[in-house]
Chains A and B, each alone.
Chain A
């Protein structure tokens, strides 16, 4: 019996160590003069900022972008102290304790993101001992519609529906050029953010249908998670083999399977979050060639600017900031591949749509659940779906 326990113990320990080894971020700088018990004082005149990553670096999109922005900030502002803490995606139970630990240390600004960090942060900032700390949460609002209840937290959200809209326009224009009757949206799982992308995409297709008197349909499908890339490939292949020649996949890692499908069938795909063409341009040119453009969400730039605002004392709290095309935080990539695939006329059209979104002339409906009911969303999904 002892032996059994011993071996299990060893195996588990080895596993934990390895996982922990992977989870070590390469954050710059020291944690500051904090101690694990009690709350460290902030009056040392040095700006310290921590970014908590509740996911894995190396996703080539969301988290890498955040990491890049903060690393750049550290480089441009050597007098500050930036700490990046990678908490991993496998164990959500460490999020709250890491957040508390970080708040105990001498960080002036603590940045975290996504809906998973909302509740831990809500609980933390209610404690008076952290009242001198400032927080930023991105890609969600600290509490839906109630940012003002949290006077030390700045919330940032992105209008991914506008990005989806641009993807929809590009997909429709290219589908028309290729004489395909349908286009498609593939999501990871149907969460709030992905639904927002989808709702924007479908509105983009509808707009092109209306303006260019086309009758394009748009499938929508979900992989079920963000990691099953073989399934992503199967799904995309299914569409490409029927009557789709351009699709938009917002599925993180699983979406890379969709790119693989596009490569094999020689069809087109629109990337998401970061410029996926640039990522593959050198290492896998055949994969890069099928990526028409990518809808980018500039998380890194957003964090960089927020830190600068903090230093200048102009960052506001207890409020929600929504960033989109007009702020240059959501957009599409106009690169060589885009130029070689899409006609000049269509490119001009896309640029015009982007300008109209920025100026407010085109208003893209949000797919977030607080703005759109499930019925309304389903109706929109079904309206263009050729499978219906």
Chain B
């Protein structure tokens, strides 16, 4: 058992299990930082997975497949952007609707192309290559860990670096963070919050697309209905635990991947009821979300204490009902945008 936990296989297989979760978590991270809850990552991943693998098979090109997967991911995100930014729907509710749509849409695409509804295993995709470095990959542990990984492993590392740089060092990053923290304040200094949110959602779509492509073009070479199997949601939980930091998010995504792999791998080394093992990833998600809620509450409390004078002033005004208030906010936002435009 201990041997199993510290084995090379465990380390490497956990990374493999963590990769789709990691992409989903990064996708959640960028949209959350811009202040949009995108729970449609799961759906984006499955649509991206089916589009990518089919194009890869028919075009016999993994690069084209990957591109299409990413485009499909962005398209799904743009649907959310359209409904939540342009039509001002609740992003959570449209996310639910889009997930429902994606379940049917992915199978519909599969059926209209191949005439089957289960999986595309008879039309194997050209796989995204591995980055194998001769000699280096024979180094024990490290070789398998770093020098014999899917190309998307390196893309994920790059994404972590990219997200950190984007959020911390670029103008767009500052705008994203500002919009996420307080859209009104951001708008008041001339930031087009809607455009910023749309950009963040597009990046979110790219990352979700990569996650889908990893499942159907790298780890497996076909799409099967339901193959994303909750990884998009677990990614959101990992992001919540990572509290908006790409590196912490990466750590927790790995942890989720490890638990996921443990649930599978442990069945081969110890006879433990699999039903209990299978609950581990979900149990961890719940624990993660509880921690997240506690931390968030503590933060908000602190923020409230810091903002006390401002708060009192507000309370002097009669409070409009909540719905009205949001509508008022929206009005203000558009007014702000207008004034910025003029």
Contact = CB atoms under 8 A, between A and B. Distances in A.
Contacts of A235: 264, 267-268
Contact of A7 (B17, B94, B274): B94
A16 B264 CA distance: 34
Interface string A1-43: 1011011100110111011011000000000000000000000
Nearest to A17: B104
Contacts of A287: 121, 124
Contact of A230 (B118, B124, B229): B229
B117 A229 contact: no
Contacts of B17: 234
Interface stretch (B24-32, B148-156, B219-227, B243-251): B219-227
Contacts of B94: 7-8, 11
B124 A284 contact: yes
Contact of A8 (B97, B108, B121): B97
Given A3-B88, A18-B105, A260-B221, A230 B93 contact: no
B21 to A, nearest CB: 11
A229 B101 contact: no
Given A4-B90, A387-B267, A256 B224 contact: yes
Contact of B219 (A59, A230, A283): A230
B61 interface: no
A253 B274 CA distance: 19
A301 interface: no
A165 B265 CA distance: 25
A240 to B, nearest CB: 11
Contacts of A58: 111, 116-119
B330 to A, nearest CB: 11
A239 B268 contact: yes
Interface string A263-285: 00000000000000001100110
A227 interface: yes
Q: How large is the interface on A (under 10, 10 to 19, 20 to 34, 35 or more residues)?
A: 35 or more
B336 interface: no
A229 B20 CA distance: 13
B2 interface: no
Contacts, number: 160
Interface in B263-280: 263-265, 267-271, 274-275, 278
B241 interface: no
A283 B225 contact: no
A219 B119 CA distance: 27
Given A229-B224, A230-B227, A4 B93 contact: yes
Interface in B92-112: 93-94, 97-98, 100-101, 103-105, 107-108, 111
A233 B269 CA distance: 17
A22 B107 contact: yes
A68 interface: no
A227 B89 contact: no
B16 A259 contact: no
A360 interface: no
A56 interface: yes
B135 to A, nearest CB: 23
A233 B268 contact: no
Contact of B264 (A231, A253, A382): A231
A388 B89 contact: no
Given A234-B13, A253-B224, A4 B118 contact: no
Given A230-B215, A387-B269, 16 more contacts: A3-B89, A7-B89, A12-B100, A56-B107, A219-B267, A221-B267, A224-B263, A227-B229, A228-B227, A230-B227, A234-B16, A237-B13, A260-B221, A279-B122, A280-B122, A284-B122
30 contacts: A3-B89, A4-B88, A12-B97, A15-B101, A15-B103, A15-B104, A18-B101, A56-B107, A56-B225, A58-B111, A60-B118, A90-B103, A219-B268, A221-B264, A221-B267, A222-B267, A223-B264, A224-B275, A230-B20, A231-B260, A233-B219, A234-B264, A253-B224, A260-B220, A260-B222, A280-B122, A283-B122, A287-B124, A387-B268, A388-B270
